[in-house]
Amino acid sequence: MVVSAQEEQGGPNQIWYINSSGGKVERITNDLNNYNGVSLTRAGTTIATVQSQVSSSVWFAQPANTESAIKVTSGTNEGVRGLALMPDGRIVYTVSASGTSDIFIVGHDGSNPRQLTSASALNALPAGSPDGRFIVFVSTRTGTPHLWRMDSDGNNQKLLTSGGGEFSPSVSPDGQWILYQNLNDLGLWKISIEGGAHAQLTNKLATQPTISPDGKLVACRYREQDLSPFKLGFIDFATGQTVKVIDMPATDNALAWSADGRAIVFIERRNGVSNLWSQPIDGGAPKQLTGFKSDLTFTYSFSKDGKSVALSRGTVSNDVVLIADVPN
């Protein structure tokens, strides 16, 4: 068989060859691009696929005045696998290489960039604690994606979870809890920021969780049962009970609360350009927050007061490619 698959959670889709008799697995592609869809010639020696290439950098802006946005970094694959705006204004972001990703930190003006992780693995999805002491992130350095915690300077990296796979961490406003998604059941779980025992919050399919500024509610993409459409769900952080469900904005990207706790921020793409929008939790009409005229927004993170935002922005190019001399 020839398949398009991720070697690790959050990694790029690559093309793989799987021997049907012995189960041996070989990589056909090995780069930072995504390969979506596979079609073989009758002879089985040439593949047609769609190659998607992302180019992204980290930006810093005020949502109400995106014309004055500052380009913080100048790389080609930065922030797509997550970023976080720390309380002191520094930006934690990912830098991706072939099959790996590491976490860096930089001033919002581009000053003093520093690498925080150096494991030969996927280190991604950073989330800062409200007091700025810690950065929680996902790493596959032990083979399975687990939650880790490090000091904001990269020291004292500590494994927090060891289950079947954990991702999408979000730190509570009081800095005491980490909310995350579990690969085993795709429900939401929580664990102390110090580690230890974990507890299930809900067994409903709930992705992109984010905790409200007062720490009482979790907003997420929510599905009540299999194959039902995703809604915007609100779950009580203390009890795990579903409080409210409203129509979901047209997005599958990360969600965030507005600073006043009255709306949920999401990314919407229109005519090849994506901007941040806010959906009032009372079910009112969504409102556009940023006014970018070009390019895509992949990830973002707001300051506590909502007046500043860090973003990963760039372009995606899609090309049909042929790959010859496939093993058979």
The CA distance from 5 to 15, in Å, is: 7
245-294 confidence digits (pLDDT tens): 998 776 667 899 999 999 999 999 999 999 999 999 998 899 999 999 99
Same structural domain, 139 and 9? no
Same structural domain, 30 and 139? no
Same structural domain, 46 and 59? no
Q: Is residue 104 part of a domain?
A: yes
Q: Is residue 93 part of a domain?
A: yes
Same structural domain, 193 and 214? yes
More confident: 75 or 326: 75
Mean pLDDT score, 60-68: 93
Same structural domain, 96 and 211? yes
The CA distance from 14 to 242, in Å, is: 37
Give the residue from 123, 94, 93, 118 showing the smallest Cα distance to 108.
93
Same structural domain, 135 and 278? yes
Mean pLDDT score, 62-72: 93
Cβ contacts of 96 within 8 Å, gap of 6 or more: 32, 77, 78, 80, 81
Which pLDDT score, from 0 to 100, does residue 54 have?
86
Which pLDDT score, from 0 to 100, does residue 279 have?
93
Same structural domain, 12 and 95? no
Same structural domain, 183 and 229? yes
25-59 confidence digits (pLDDT tens): 888 888 878 898 899 888 878 889 998 888 999 99
Which pLDDT score, from 0 to 100, does residue 1 have?
85
The CA distance from 5 to 27, in Å, is: 10
157-193 confidence digits (pLDDT tens): 999 999 989 999 999 999 999 999 998 888 899 999 9
Q: In the predicted model, is pLDDT for residue 107 greater than 90?
A: yes
Same structural domain, 195 and 66? yes
Q: Is residue 328 part of a domain?
A: no
Which pLDDT score, from 0 to 100, does residue 93 have?
98
Same structural domain, 47 and 161? no
How many domains, in total, are found in the chain?
2
Which pLDDT score, from 0 to 100, does residue 295 have?
95
Q: At 223, is the pLDDT very low, low, confident or very high (cuts 50, 70, 90)?
A: confident
Mean pLDDT of the chain: 91
Which pLDDT score, from 0 to 100, does residue 252 have?
66
Q: Which amino acid is residue 200, in one-letter code?
A: Q
Q: Is residue 127 part of a domain?
A: yes
For tokens 């995703």, name the residue.
230
Q: Is residue 87 part of a domain?
A: yes
Question: Any idea what the CATH number is for the domain that residue 216 is in?
Answer: 2.120.10.30
Q: Which amino acid is residue 50, in one-letter code?
A: V
Which pLDDT score, from 0 to 100, does residue 253 have?
78
Q: Is residue 218 part of a domain?
A: yes
Locate 221 and state its tokens: 């993409």
Q: Is residue 28 part of a domain?
A: yes
116-157 confidence digits (pLDDT tens): 999 888 999 999 999 999 999 999 999 899 999 999 999 999
Q: In the predicted model, is pLDDT for residue 8 greater than 80?
A: no
Cβ contacts of 112 within 8 Å, gap of 6 or more: 106
Which pLDDT score, from 0 to 100, does residue 43 have?
82
Same structural domain, 12 and 26? yes
Q: Is residue 113 part of a domain?
A: yes
Q: At 215, is the pLDDT very low, low, confident or very high (cuts 50, 70, 90)?
A: very high
Parent domain of 231: 55-316
Same structural domain, 195 and 308? yes
Which pLDDT score, from 0 to 100, does residue 225 have?
73
Give the residue from 224, 306, 137, 114 showing the smallest Cα distance to 232.
224
DSSP string, 76-100: SBEEEEEEEE-TTS-EEEEEEETTE
For a pLDDT cut of 70, what percent of the chain falls above it?
96
